[in-house]
Amino acid sequence: MACKVLVLPGDGIGPEIVREALKVLRPLGDRFSFEEALVGGASIDAYGVPIKEEVLDLAKKSDAVLLGAVGGPKWEDLDYSVRPERALLALRKELGAFGNLRPAKVFSPLIDASPLKREVIEGIDLLVVRELTGGIYFGEPRGVERLPDGRERGLNTLVYHDHEVERIARLAFEVAGKRRRKVTSVDKANVLESTELWRKVVTRVHREYEGIELNHMYVDNCAMQLIREPGQFDVILTTNMFGDILSDEAAMLTGSIGMLPSASLGGGVGIFEPIHGSAPDIAGKNRANPLATILSAAMMLRYAFSMDREALAIERAVEEVLERGYRTPDIYSEGTKMVSCSEMGDRVVEALEEILSRI
Q: Which of 11, 63, 105, 137 is catalytic?
A: 137
Closest CB 106 distance from ligand IPM, rounded Å: 20
63 has catalytic annotation? no
188 has catalytic annotation? yes
Among 5, 88, 212, 265, binds ligand IPM (CB under 6 A): 88
Q: Which of 244, 303, 326, 330 is catalytic?
A: 244
Subset of residues 146 to 185 that bind ligand IPM, contact rule: CB under 6 A: none
Q: Is 85 in the site for ligand IPM (CB under 6 A)?
A: yes
79 has catalytic annotation? no
Size of the site for Mg ion (CB under 5 A): 1
Q: Which of 11, 23, 160, 188 is catalytic?
A: 188
47 has catalytic annotation? no
Site string for ligand IPM, 221-260 (x = CB under 6 A): -----------------------x----------------
Q: With respect to Mg ion, which residue has the nearer C-beta, 16 or 244?
A: 244
- Encode the chain in three state secondary structure: CCEEEEEEEECCCHHHHHHHHHHHHHHHCCCEEEEECCCCHHHHHHHCCCCCHHHHHHHHHCCEEEEEECCCHHHCCCCHHHCHHHHHHHHHHHCCCCEEEEEEECCHHHHHHCCCCHHHHCCCEEEEEEECCCHHHCCCCCEEEECCCCCEEEECCCCCCHHHHHHHHHHHHHHHHCCCCEEEEEECCCCCHHHHHHHHHHHHHHCCCCCCEEEEEEHHHHHHHHHHCHHHCCEEEECHHHHHHHHHHHHHHCCCHHHCEEEEECCCCEEEEECCCCCHHHCCCCCCCCHHHHHHHHHHHHHCCCCHHHHHHHHHHHHHHHHCCEECHHHCCCCCEECCHHHHHHHHHHHHHHHHHHC
Q: Is 275 in the site for ligand IPM (CB under 6 A)?
A: yes
Q: Is 244 in the site for Mg ion (CB under 5 A)?
A: yes
Closest CB 248 distance from Mg ion, rounded Å: 6
Closest CB 36 distance from ligand IPM, rounded Å: 20
Q: With respect to ligand IPM, which residue has the nearer C-beta, 264 or 321?
A: 264
Q: Which residues bind ligand IPM (CB under 6 A)?
A: 71, 85, 88, 244, 275, 277
Q: Which residues bind Mg ion (CB under 5 A)?
A: 244
Q: Looking at the annotation, which residues are catalytic? A: 137, 188, 220, 244, 248
